């Protein structure tokens, strides 16, 4: 099936339902009942997101997507993140609840990305004003991002959500480069409404319970109005192990050739930090470990280099000197992280919104808003592990009673122990732990507490004529405490390993050994006593605080009358804002304190990266103006010019850390006839680096599950497969602001002679310069090495003589990937690999990865453009009810970047590169059909995500051709080379609901609505991609839960 027909599957799915009411069109009489909350239409002027001017019909002059309560009903989202990901222009949730690692934002946290740009380019508003950002940064495009946690937004009491699909930096400030998401809360509701909801997945997990209360009231004889919304939510955890498609981290069985074998690590994410272990024996002299097999130790147990593995065997557990295969009996040597990872954490969340206003006099109103959010989340991950490449040297001394090559089991003379137990003849050795999962330690539990509050107080009123004004103070804080219980303090663990008393010493092998039949054997598993574990287990705590304070004032009105009754409108305003960011940890969690005897540049926790405390603040002062000039309209109309108006706005901002900037926006709208409007705009934007990008100290991160995609298929070594690697990064105070230019043009048509049918199409583009990015990735490194190898072969060099400069300043891969010099063992691995392959599949030798060096820099430019399509049809009223059909699609036409002025073009479209905010398929869309009749309502919706290529699953041209050039492998030219990538299939998720409003004489049941909803009606699973969970968590997390049902009761009291 070609991609065009696949794109139409969603419409085909919904078309039969859309056509059902047409069969009644000839004879149907109007339905006597009105739709829910339908009120007489009042053509009042109002402010729409994207403008400060009050106007009628403003929403058509700007590309704004309005999500009303009907759309919210059919989406059936239990949290804001699940609602936003249904919007086609939202490419993903770069930060989301699946995060488990200590260096990122965990718990009840999600961010939203528009147009594939980082989430920091999307401004999240509540009632038109800002919220404090989440205080724990997350990595997007390789750089730390501070952005609003969308889960702090209310999930009940919402009037509508406006999505401005156009840049609005000139109106709102620097965050609005990609667009604006504005939550508008209900204010007109009067009375009391109670809502209770319960739901779970078809697997019986992920149970959700919600209770919401909304109360709207008048006071002071109608001069005052208030509303309260309280929303309480609880959800049980769901686990990856409970979903068949991701219970196993080795997903090669789901992959097509050439990735369908376990020995290919592309879809095999099992970790080399394993319960069995990889070790090296040697000697310790003056504190320095020297690897090598000691005298008397047989080669059947330990290689000459000193390396040995404890592995599963056909009959139990034993020793092995060579790298265990990822296939066969040693497949389970590698660790399945998915057995411990959560799909969604256990979460309790409370959200309170209060709003009130009081008419002090006829033209003066005081108002205030307050919202409070608190969440408690519990997430889990696998027990501690030791990885020498990131945790340093942890050595088991010869006198540790559990060391299988120590003095308990070996003696230069072979004499037995004092207790009579046998020993072998050989020199006892110390053991360096290369990779070992400490499986007898408990699963690590992370408790994350989020608290956010924001208060707004101000006044608004009317001046002379049409002029009105508004001014307000805002203050908000966001606080996070991330507390992980169970991780190990490295120095205390080493002290426990150094003990010689069996009752006090820690056994890192978690096995028992004995001398039997003249050899050393593994006799069983070992559980370290709790009393020993408690000597080194501790709590890792991370704290973050952001503060936002602002004052704003604005006024708008008419300034000049033009011909034919037209009037020039003007809005002016000013804003002052203060931002504070603090990220800090206790001693030993962040850095080791001075005087502790430990390295002050490191920390003392296994699996956590050292981090200095970060503190930063800035002040921003802004002034802006906006005008609309109606050239034609009202009484001055011409043929094919029903109306014509120009809009212009500009914003000047002064940053205490960047200086000044002024950015404009211009718009044009033209109605050739009353039922059609053409609109266009041009805007410029300015995005200052966030405080984390500027002020974060040196970070030594541990990147987990990172595969050396160039070497892993050659060597098969665990250290080249999914394993932990060091990444070094730090803030860059010399970063320049990002600059942007945006354009849009479109047409909106209310189709004549078909009442209720409207169509729209918009072209949009964003061009950015000085985009903040991080230096390359392993994928970029692999592509560069493959290209350099093929270029050398084409020049006539022999594969074994090609020098790619590994470990030198002449390295031809990505400079951010620092490799070790080539060893003889490396040469042997590559020679054996290349001997059986054609030149097109050969690889020149390089050394293993040492560190990943990350720097933040301003790259040359980035460009993204595409088209948005909208169709809405409100069917005529028939006796069978009222039907409404809506569909929205976006087509991504181009998305590319240049990392330098002279560098090659890097394409992002149709991929899942980490340089963008989510996957970037060409097509995304949704469609919904809703029905209402008297007390009944129902809806059906589908959400489509198109195909894209997986940058982490590549092969060679020769392999692609040998397989018959299958369509699931796509040649992609980017960054100066052609790669052959796996194509991630498209997907459709379908939701449905039905509700009934009771009307009885019983006061307890009257005006009670019962609603049953289903999310993922056909229980689809996410498409396979080369991610640790087998799917893109920024896009498909809701689908991964599986079919979910809910029952909801709503009672008006």
User: What residues does each domain of the chain span?
Assistant: 3-240+346-379+449-481+543-696+731-772+857-947+985-1052, 241-252+270-344+380-448+482-542, 712-730+776-853
Q: Please tell me whether residue 419 adopts helix, strand or coil conformation.
A: coil
Residue 42 has pLDDT above 50, yes or no: no
Cis ω before 716 (30° cut-off from 0): no
Share of the chain above pLDDT 90, in %: 64
Which residues, at least 6 apart from 224, have a Cβ–Cβ distance to it below 8 Å? Answer: 218, 356, 357, 358, 359
Specify the higher pLDDT residue, 33 or 289: 289
Residue 10: the pLDDT is 39
Residue 246: the pLDDT is 93
Which residues, at least 6 apart from 34, have a Cβ–Cβ distance to it below 8 Å? Answer: none
Residue 36: the pLDDT is 42
Residue 61 has pLDDT above 90, yes or no: no
What integer is the mean pLDDT of 696-714? 75
781 neighbors 816 (Cβ within 8 angstroms): yes
What integer is the mean pLDDT of 259-271? 93
171-180, 276-285, 455-464: which has the minimum mean pLDDT? Answer: 171-180
Residue 295: the pLDDT is 96
9-18, 561-570, 702-711: which has the minimum mean pLDDT? Answer: 9-18
Residue 6 has pLDDT above 80, yes or no: no
Q: Would you give the DSSP letter of residue 745? A: E
Q: Give the integer Cα–Cα distance in Å for 758 and 886.
A: 10
Residue 1003: the pLDDT is 83
Residue 300 has pLDDT above 50, yes or no: yes
Kindly tell me the sign of the dihedral angle through the C-alpha atoms of 411, 412, 418, 423: positive
Residue 1001: the pLDDT is 84
**Per-residue pLDDT tens over the stretch 992-1003:** 999 999 988 888
Confidence of residue 695 (pLDDT cuts 50, 70, 90): low
Q: Would you give the DSSP letter of residue 136? A: S
Dihedral of CA atoms 835, 838, 844, 847 in degrees, nearest 10, equals -60
Confidence of residue 815 (pLDDT cuts 50, 70, 90): confident
Residue 479 has pLDDT above 90, yes or no: yes
Nearest to residue 734, comparing CAs of 864, 912, 855, 578? 855
- Strand partners of residue 40: none
Residue 357: the pLDDT is 96
Q: Give the integer Cα–Cα distance in Å for 693 and 583.
A: 13
Fold entry, domain 3-240+346-379+449-481+543-696+731-772+857-947+985-1052: Maltoporin; Chain A (2.40.170)
Confidence of residue 309 (pLDDT cuts 50, 70, 90): very high
Residue 180 has pLDDT above 80, yes or no: yes
933 neighbors 761 (Cβ within 8 angstroms): no
What integer is the mean pLDDT of 870-879? 94
What integer is the mean pLDDT of 940-948? 96
What integer is the mean pLDDT of 726-744? 82
Residue 634 has pLDDT above 90, yes or no: no
CA 623 to chain centre: 33
CA 452 to chain centre: 20
Which residues, at least 6 apart from 780, have a Cβ–Cβ distance to it below 8 Å? Answer: 814, 816, 975
**Distances from the Cα of 865 to the Cα of 87, 765, 870, 892, angstroms:** 17, 4, 17, 6
175: which 2 tokens? 């965050």
Residue 576: the pLDDT is 97
Residue 15 has pLDDT above 60, yes or no: no
Residue 19: the pLDDT is 34
**Per-residue pLDDT tens over the stretch 664-678:** 999 999 999 999 999
Q: Please give, one letter per residue, the 3-state secondary structure of 383-409.
A: CCEEEHHHHCCCEECCCCCCCCCCCCC
Q: Give the integer Cα–Cα distance in Å for 371 and 132.
A: 12
Q: Give the integer Cα–Cα distance in Å for 773 and 857.
A: 6
Specify the higher pLDDT residue, 160 or 19: 160
Helix, strand, coil percentages (3-state) for the chain, rounded to 5, are 15, 45, 40
Residue 982: the pLDDT is 97
What integer is the mean pLDDT of 236-259? 95
Nearest to residue 434, comparing CAs of 559, 613, 282, 616? 282
Residue 57: the pLDDT is 52
Specify the higher pLDDT residue, 742 or 859: 742
Residue 896 has pLDDT above 80, yes or no: yes
Kindly tell me the sign of the dihedral angle through the C-alpha atoms of 885, 66, 547, 457: negative
Residue 627: the pLDDT is 93
Residue 38: the pLDDT is 39
Residue 496 has pLDDT above 90, yes or no: yes
What integer is the mean pLDDT of 202-222? 95
Count Cβ atoms within 10 A of the Cβ of residue 474 and give its class: 0-12 exposed, 13-18 middle, 19 or more buried.
Answer: buried
888 neighbors 924 (Cβ within 8 angstroms): no
Q: Give the integer Cα–Cα distance in Å for 101 and 542.
A: 12
What integer is the mean pLDDT of 439-450? 92
What integer is the mean pLDDT of 770-784? 80
Which among 666-670, 697-701, 1028-1032 has the top mean pLDDT? 666-670
Confidence of residue 508 (pLDDT cuts 50, 70, 90): very high
Confidence of residue 131 (pLDDT cuts 50, 70, 90): very high
The string of DSSP codes covering 660-674 is: EEEEEEEEEEEEEET
Residue 121 has pLDDT above 90, yes or no: no
Question: Strand order of the sheet with strand 723-729?
Answer: 699-706, 723-729, 849-853, 817-819
Mean pLDDT of the chain: 88
Specify the higher pLDDT residue, 692 or 953: 953
Look-up: residue for tokens 């507490």?
449
Q: Please tell me whether residue 280 adopts helix, strand or coil conformation.
A: strand
Residue 615: the pLDDT is 87
**Per-residue pLDDT tens over the stretch 315-365:** 999 999 999 999 999 999 999 999 999 999 999 999 999 999 999 999 999
74-78, 402-406, 526-530, 633-637: which has the minimum mean pLDDT? Answer: 633-637
**Per-residue pLDDT tens over the stretch 355-369:** 999 999 999 999 999
Share of the chain above pLDDT 70, in %: 92
Confidence of residue 918 (pLDDT cuts 50, 70, 90): confident
518: which 2 tokens? 């003249």
**Cβ neighbours, 10 Å, residue 242:** 16
Nearest to residue 305, comparing CAs of 319, 284, 321, 320? 321
Residue 46 has pLDDT above 60, yes or no: no
358: which 2 tokens? 């009081």
Residue 765 has pLDDT above 60, yes or no: yes
Residue 374 has pLDDT above 80, yes or no: yes
Nearest to residue 917, comparing CAs of 89, 67, 83? 89
């Amino acid at each position: 099936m070609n991609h065009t027909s696949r794109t139409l599957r969603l419409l085909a799915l919904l078309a039969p339902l859309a056509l059902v009411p047409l069969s009644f069109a000839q004879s149907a009489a109007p339905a006597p009942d009105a739709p829910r909350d339908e009120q007489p239409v009042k053509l009042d002027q109002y402010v729409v997101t994207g403008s400060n001017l009050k106007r009628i019909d403003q929403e058509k002059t700007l590309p704004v997507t309005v999500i009303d309560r009907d759309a919210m009903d059919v989406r059936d989202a239990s949290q804001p993140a699940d609602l936003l990901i249904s919007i086609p222009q939202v490419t993903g949730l770069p930060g989301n609840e699946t995060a488990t690692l200590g260096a990122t934002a965990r718990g009840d946290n999600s961010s939203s990305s528009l147009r594939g740009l980082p989430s920091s380019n999307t401004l999240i508003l509540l009632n038109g004003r800002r919220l404090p950002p989440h205080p724990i940064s997350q990595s997007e495009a390789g750089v730390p991002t501070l952005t609003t946690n969308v889960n702090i937004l209310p999930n009940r009491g919402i009037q509508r959500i406006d999505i401005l699909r156009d840049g609005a930096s000139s109106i709102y400030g620097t965050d609005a480069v990609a667009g604006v998401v504005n939550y508008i809360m209900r204010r007109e509701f009067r009375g009391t409404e109670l809502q209770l909801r319960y739901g779970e997945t078809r697997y019986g997990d992920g149970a959700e319970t919600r209770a919401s209360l909304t109360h709207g009231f008048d006071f002071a004889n109608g001069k005052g109005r208030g509303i309260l919304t309280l929303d309480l939510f609880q959800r049980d955890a769901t686990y990856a192990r409970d979903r068949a498609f991701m219970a196993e981290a080795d997903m090669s069985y789901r992959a097509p050739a050439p990735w369908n074998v376990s020995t290919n690590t592309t879809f095999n994410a099992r970790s080399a930090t394993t319960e069995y272990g990889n070790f090296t024996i040697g000697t310790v002299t003056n504190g320095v470990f020297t690897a090598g097999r000691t005298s008397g130790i047989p080669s059947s147990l330990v290689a000459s280099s000193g390396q040995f593995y404890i592995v599963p065997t056909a009959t139990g557990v034993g020793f092995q000197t060579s790298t265990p295969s990822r296939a066969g009996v040693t497949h389970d040597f590698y660790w399945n992280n998915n057995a411990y990872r959560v799909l969604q954490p256990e979460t309790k969340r409370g959200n309170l919104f209060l709003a009130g206003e009081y008419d002090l006099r006829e033209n003066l109103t005081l108002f205030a808003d307050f919202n409070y959010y608190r969440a408690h989340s519990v997430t889990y991950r696998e027990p501690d592990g030791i990885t020498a490449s990131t945790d340093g040297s942890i050595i088991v001394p010869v006198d540790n009673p559990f060391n299988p090559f120590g003095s308990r089991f070996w003696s230069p003379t072979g004499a037995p122990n004092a207790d009579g137990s046998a020993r072998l003849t050989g020199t006892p050795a110390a053991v360096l732990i290369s990779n070992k999962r400490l499986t007898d330690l408990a699963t690590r539990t992370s408790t994350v507490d989020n608290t956010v509050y924001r208060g707004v107080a101000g006044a608004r009123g009317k001046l002379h004529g049409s002029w009105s004004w508004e001014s307000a103070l805002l203050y908000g804080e966001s606080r996070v405490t991330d507390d992980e219980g169970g991780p190990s303090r490295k120095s205390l663990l080493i002290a426990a390993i150094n003990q010689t008393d069996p009752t006090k010493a820690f056994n890192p092998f978690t096995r028992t050994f004995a001398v039997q039949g003249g050899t050393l054997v593994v006799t069983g598993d070992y559980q370290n006593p709790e009393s020993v574990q408690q000597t080194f287990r501790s709590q890792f705590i991370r704290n973050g605080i952001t503060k936002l304070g602002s004052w704003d004032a604005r006024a708008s009105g008419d300034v000049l009358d033009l011909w034919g009754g037209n009037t020039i409108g003007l809005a002016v305003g000013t804003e002052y804002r203060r931002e504070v960011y603090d990220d800090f940890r206790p001693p030993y969690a962040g850095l080791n304190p001075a005087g502790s005897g430990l390295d002050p540049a490191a920390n003392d926790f296994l699996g956590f990266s050292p981090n200095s405390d970060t503190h930063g603040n800035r002040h921003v002062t802004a002034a802006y103006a906006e005008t609309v000039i109606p050239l034609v309209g009202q009484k001055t109309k011409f043929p094919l010019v029903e109306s014509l108006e120009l809009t212009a706005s500009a914003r000047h901002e002064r940053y205490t850390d960047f200086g000044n900037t002024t950015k404009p926006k211009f718009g044009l709208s033209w109605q050739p006839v009353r039922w059609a409007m053409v609109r266009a705009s041009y805007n410029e934007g300015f995005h200052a680096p966030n405080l984390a990008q500027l002020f974060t100290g040196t970070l030594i991160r541990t990147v987990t599950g990172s595969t050396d995609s160039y070497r892993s298929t050659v060597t098969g070594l665990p250290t080249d497969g999914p394993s932990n690697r060091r990444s070094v990064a730090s803030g860059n105070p010399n970063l320049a602001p990002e600059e942007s230019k945006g354009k849009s043009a479109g047409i909106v048509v209310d189709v004549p002679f078909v009442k209720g049918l409207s169509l729209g199409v918009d072209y949009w583009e964003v061009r950015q310069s000085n985009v903040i990015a991080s230096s390359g990735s392993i994928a970029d490194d692999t592509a560069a090495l493959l290209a350099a190898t093929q270029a050398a072969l084409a020049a006539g060099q022999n594969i074994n003589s090609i020098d790619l400069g590994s470990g030198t300043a002449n390295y031809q891969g990505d400079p951010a990937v620092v490799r070790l010099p080539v060893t003889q063992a490396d040469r042997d691995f590559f020679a054996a690999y290349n001997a059986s392959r054609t030149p097109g599949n050969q690889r020149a030798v390089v050394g293993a990865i040492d560190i990943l060096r990350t720097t933040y820099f301003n790259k040359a430019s980035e460009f993204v453009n595409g088209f948005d399509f909208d169709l809405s049809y409100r069917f005529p009223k028939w006796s069978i009810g009222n039907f409404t059909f809506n569909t929205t699609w976006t087509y991504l036409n181009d998305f590319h970047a240049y990392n330098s002025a002279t560098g090659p073009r890097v394409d992002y479209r149709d991929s899942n590169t980490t340089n963008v905010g989510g996957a970037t398929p060409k097509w995304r869309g949704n469609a919904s059909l809703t029905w209402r009749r008297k007390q009944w309502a129902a809806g059906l919706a589908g959400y489509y995500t198109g195909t894209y290529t997986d940058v982490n699953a590549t092969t060679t041209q020769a392999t692609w051709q040998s397989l018959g050039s299958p369509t699931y492998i796509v040649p992609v030219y980017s960054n100066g080379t052609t790669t052959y990538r796996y194509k991630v299939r498209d997907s459709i998720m379908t939701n449905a609901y039905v509700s009934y409003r009771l009307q009885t004489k019983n006061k307890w049941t009257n005006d009670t609505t019962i609603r049953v909803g289903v999310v993922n009606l056909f229980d689809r699973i996410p498409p396979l991609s080369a991610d640790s969970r087998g799917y893109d968590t920024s896009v498909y997390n809701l689908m991964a839960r599986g079919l979910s049902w809910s029952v909801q009761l709503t009672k008006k009291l």
